[in-house]
Structure 1
């Protein structure tokens, strides 16, 4: 059973809030006694026994990448029960936040709750044994085993190690929105969703806490009623909230900032390492250069589930590339938004492959797939070194040819003057996925990934 603890004591504070990622307090005039008092009310939950590893530490050093799993929950007790009229614990929102190495930019990936996924075996949160593995709706992970099962499911599906987690309930969401003085949004058209008690006019407006909760949760009467439509609204709202939190109106106003933190503190549950004094101080200091302009949101690529139109499934190839980009700490979509355009057909692209996985046959399997796509495979050999990440190198005489493989594989090509007219693809432990490409004379590119929501930009929501 995971162990829930109340007070967490220590120095400076890092508060992760409302499904965004973090609000950092460093040297802004707030007295130590105030910070300590706020931290005392943040709950901690030890789920290391459920997921099979601890949290925090210096896995990637003080400025390396960090992965946080943020869970917005409908803990239907007390005031939350009054809001919903139901009982029990349900996961309403899950966002995987990847803070890139250097701690100056971040990506938030929403995971649709209606996704049908292969869930691993999980210990039940009520202590009644273990629920066997199986195909289930993603948000059932929280109902079955709380944060531990949700983390275990995400790690199993994505291969991404979660360093910290934050859980916030409905009350915390409402309180923090009210504490910042409301959050501005723009609507392209009016919303009338009686079940969510939400009626909004088109245009610019400021949402209070209760209206904001309805805005990010409503499905009936808003847009097409889908989970993906709801996620789009959530991301636009969270981007606006993040701008408000990091603006001078909050960060430069100690009184308002303390009010925000006081409002949300007792609605948060985090891993014990996140409120450790040294962990928080190091993380807070390393995030000083992280601004709203460097934060983006995207949703897990999904498509309809074949046997149930009301459920979703992840698009295998695009999702795999998304998770892999996080694992290797590479900006998602950077390649498809760059100048990588295929102008040379695969039949004119000659490639040598190196097996750097340590597993016999891995590179040859990739070579077979490339041959089917028309690439000219010159050789397949074994590398002297084992690589965690696949690499693509090319000589100065084949700069145009390598672009075709760059687009096909999603791997950024690196110039190696010693290769002259050769292209070398080293297949690392993370593997290589190649896709069919169309050559063009145009410099225009198309996106191979969902559109970003940028936290620094105001978006008018269409419903």
Structure 2
């Protein structure tokens, strides 16, 4: 069963394609999203190269980090559906330590934020997928949760979605998504800032076409209109930029990131990993150093086996949408869940069906036109 595909957007100029909306009062924060597409990149690299890396399993296995989310969440979760489909929560984090401190800005205090979240639904047969991006600025009711160290945190109302991760880590983020959607997450995958940049460089860059010039000093990005082979640093700037596109919101940035993911997937398929063992090893080494998984995927054998089952999913078979939201009238820097339309998304995924186009019609978009992959 295949998901419906969505036209890829293009990158707008400073004023966007549809003008700018009025922002709420107060100073905007600098962009801190750095890895919204990195986890999908890592998954793509590993899944396409997995079958050739048997001789380095031991080395790569030592690179992986995993968290026991199932133990932290216990049994109070949505029912697991055994119909051949899978749901994966993909997070991008900006841990404020080491290399990530320079890339993300701020103090080297070891703290971490989740600045990206995508629900990846892989349909039965593993030939297609739907990807639902959750805006970090969505105001939600966060459930009480327990982290993987056993520490507990009380529920909170009207907080930003990305506060779940900064409060209770991966387990709290998963529980919040399951509470929001009523869908059980079968797996968890996380990638950081520095890992994303290195992955793109290991691939030799990713080719994208900007429909108009884009310049954003905050994300260190200056691209004229046209086709570009982005380096890791440029790609990181692209997926982080918000002030140079659309209305300057996280929603516009999500559109860019979704289009970049499609370009990235096609680039991974074109680099000939199966025929170049050194490229395969270098990419797998970088990918496994960059990701944190749930404990079920916490070994190279498990990760490779799982990822190998996804390798038939090309960019054309990925339907990418943003969770239906509307701007918060009280603060236009925040968004609120459009519950009626979001229910259409969750109902479709629970039934392993394509997301209907009506689910995203009339919702907030960010007014960005995105990236067009050649």
1:68 maps to 88
Shift in CA distance, 228/327, structure 1 to aligned 2, threshold 3 Å: same
Query: 2:129 matched to which residue of 1?
Result: 106
How far the C-alpha of 1:115 sits from its partner, in A, is 0.4
Determine the structure 1 residue equivalent to 2:372.
Answer: 460
Q: What corresponds to 1:32 in structure 2?
A: 54
Matches within 5 A, 1:252-331: 252-275=275-298, 279-280=302-303, 283-331=306-354
What 5-or-longer segments of structure 2 have no aligned partner? 1-36
Distance 2:192 2:236 in 1: 11
User: Which has the greater radius of gyration?
Assistant: 1
- The answer for the alignment partner of 1:3 in structure 2 is none
Q: 1:91 to 1:26 in 2, by over 3 A?
A: closer
1:333 and 1:449 in contact (8 A); partners too: no
Aligned residues: 326
Shift of 1:276: 5.0
Structure 2 CA distance for aligned equivalents of residues 54 and 291 of structure 1: 35
CA shift digits 1:271-306 (9 cap, x unpaired): 110135775465345434333321221111111113
**TM-score of the two chains, using structure 1 as the length reference:** 0.64
Q: Contact 2:137–2:161 (CA<8 Å) still a contact in 1?
A: yes
Rounded Cα–Cα distance in structure 2 between residues aligned with 1:281 and 1:199: 37
The structure-2 alpha-carbon separation of the partners of 1:268 and 1:208, relative to structure 1 and needing over 3 Å to count, comes to: same
Which residue is 1:45 aligned to?
67
What is the Cα-based RMSD across aligned positions, in Å? 2.9
1:241 — aligned with what?
A: 264
Q: Do structure 1's residue 332 and structure 2's residue 332 form an aligned pair?
A: no
Cα pair distance change 1:51/1:220, threshold 3 Å: same
Which structure: greater helix fraction?
A: 2
SS in 1 for 2:40: coil
- Identify the structure with bigger relative contact order (alpha carbons < 8 Å, sequence gap 6+): 2
Deviation digits for residues 42-96 of structure 1 (CA, Å, limit 9, x no counterpart): 10111223322499xx9526xx000000000000101111221334211111110
1:205 Cα shift? 0.4
Shift of 1:449: 7.7
Q: What stretches of structure 1 of length at least 5 have no aligned partner?
A: 1-16, 337-409, 411-446, 453-457
The 3-state SS of whatever aligns with 2:92 is strand
SS at match of 1:76: coil
> What is the TM-score of this pair, normalised by structure 2?
0.79
Residues 187-230 of structure 1: per-residue CA shift (max 9 Å, x gap): 11112211221111111101111111111112223332101001
More strand by share: 1
